[in-house]
Amino acid sequence: QVQLVESGGGLVQAGGSLRLSCAASGGTFSTYVMGWFRQAPGKEREFVAAVSWYGGTLYYEDSVKGRFTIFRDNAKNTVSLQMNSLKPEDTAVYYCAAKRGAYNAYPGTYNYWGQGTQVTVSS
């Protein structure tokens, strides 16, 4: 059983930056694909970014490419999401998730989830 705890959310003006972090415990972190998802009010949870178990392959949703960077530290059991040039449409609850096996952008394929952290971008 893997436990995931996110941190780093908050309120920021458009154009600003935030870094989200996710600390994992209770499992073999280095064997999981790690992903970030977000869910805005009234919308479905959507894929944002993911990183392979060894950190060498990165995946991004088109709207965040060039603005967000995902990275992991297997020695510290953490995965982070650096978010730059934030836009009001990035406002959502952001979730960290862990998945066994190969990368997939579909939320239903992820095995473990954090509780989420709120990101609010004001215009």
pLDDT in tens, 76-106: 999 999 999 999 999 999 999 999 999 999 9
Span 34-64, pLDDT tens digits? 999 999 999 999 999 999 998 889 999 999 9
pLDDT at 59: 97
Asked if 60 and 71 count as a contact pair (C-beta separation under 8 A), the reply is no
The helix/strand count (H/E) of the chain reads as 0, 11
pLDDT at 1: 86
pLDDT at 99: 96
> Angle CA(63)–CA(64)–CA(70) in degrees, nearest 5?
150
**E-only strand ranges, the chain:** 3-7, 10-13, 18-25, 33-39, 46-51, 58-60, 68-73, 78-83, 92-99, 112-113, 117-122
User: Is the per-residue pLDDT at 27 higher than 90?
Assistant: no
What's the CA gap between 101 and 41, in Å, rounded? 30
